[in-house]
Chains A and B, each alone.
Chain A
Amino acid sequence: ETGVTQTPRHLVMGMTNKKSLKCEQHLGHNAMYWYKQSAKKPLELMFVYNFKEQTENNSVPSRFSPECPNSSHLFLHLHTLQPEDSALYLCASSSGSTGTQYFGPGTRLLVL
């Protein structure tokens, strides 16, 4: 285990639903990340938080809303998603913005 946990591991939602993904890190890191991993595509960085402050938004649609209440927890709030948003959503953390990033197991999301 990497010390980064994600819940739920699997999620099926309709396009009108609202759901949230949760990430928690037990490594004492202060930077946290959301990535999207789609089939046949490289990992896409979505958001970066450093000391609870968002430092990167990689042109992510507003139907994805991140929240970082403290350095150990990161959420991704989802609403009115599209089927093309179906993917594996990975959370990572690092010690500082330039430290090695350690990933959680991901949430497999299916939007119907």
Chain B
Amino acid sequence: GESVGLHLPTLSVQEGDNSIINCAYSNSASDYFIWYKQESGKGPQFIIDIRSNMDKRQGQRVTVLLNKTVKHLSLQIAATQPGDSAVYFCAENGSGNTGKLIFGQGTTLQVKP
């Protein structure tokens, strides 16, 4: 079945270091991928997305990498700050254009001062 998984439930990094959060997906028909950030008491917040015709996309301090060969997605955060502490979810659109997103379980990023 379709599933999206993250490799680590928790990632702890030092403030100022770079963070890498990984995600594996199973549906090779997925052509759209999104990263969301969810802080405590809030809904998921869109960070960055990427389509399958690209392998890299950069935003402000964030970079998403897509490796379709091994069905792997990663989110890199440069110079991690305490405000980056949150749960990060990857999502894929699966097969078809139904609007149905399939979410991973999330990785909790803890930033140590």
A interface residues (Cβ-Cβ under 8 A, vs B)? 2, 4, 6, 31, 33, 40-43, 45, 48, 50, 55-56, 58, 90, 92, 94, 96-98, 100-106
Please give the distance in Å from B30's CB to the nearest CB on chain A: 12
Q: List 24 A-B contacts (CB under 8 A).
A: A2-B45, A2-B46, A4-B43, A40-B105, A41-B105, A42-B4, A42-B102, A42-B103, A48-B99, A56-B98, A56-B99, A56-B100, A58-B100, A90-B43, A94-B99, A97-B98, A100-B34, A100-B46, A101-B46, A101-B99, A103-B36, A103-B43, A103-B45, A106-B43
Nearest CB in chain A to that of B42: its residue: A105
| B41 proximity list for chain A (CB < 8 A) | 105
Cα distance A106–B44 when bound, in Å?
9
| B97 proximity list for chain A (CB < 8 A) | 97-98
| A43 proximity list for chain B (CB < 8 A) | 44, 89, 101, 103
| A100 proximity list for chain B (CB < 8 A) | 34, 46, 49
Q: CB distance A98 to B99 under 8 Å? A: yes
Q: Which of B49, B104, B106 neighbours the largest number of chain A CB atoms within 10 Å of its CB?
A: B106
Q: A42-B105, A43-B89 are in contact. Are A33 and B99 (CB under 8 A)?
A: yes
Count of chain B residues near A, Cβ 8 A: 23
Q: CB distance B99 to A102 under 8 Å? A: no
Cα distance A98–B92 when bound, in Å?
11
Nearest CB in chain B to that of A40: its residue: B105
Q: A42-B4, A42-B104, A98-B32 are in contact. Are A50 and B99 (CB under 8 A)?
A: yes
Contact residues of B between 58 and 113, Cβ < 8 Å to A: 89, 93, 97-106
Cα distance A105–B38 when bound, in Å?
10
| B34 proximity list for chain A (CB < 8 A) | 100-101
Please give the distance in Å from B4's CB to the nearest CB on chain A: 7
Cα distance A56–B44 when bound, in Å?
21
Q: CB distance B105 to A48 under 8 Å? A: no
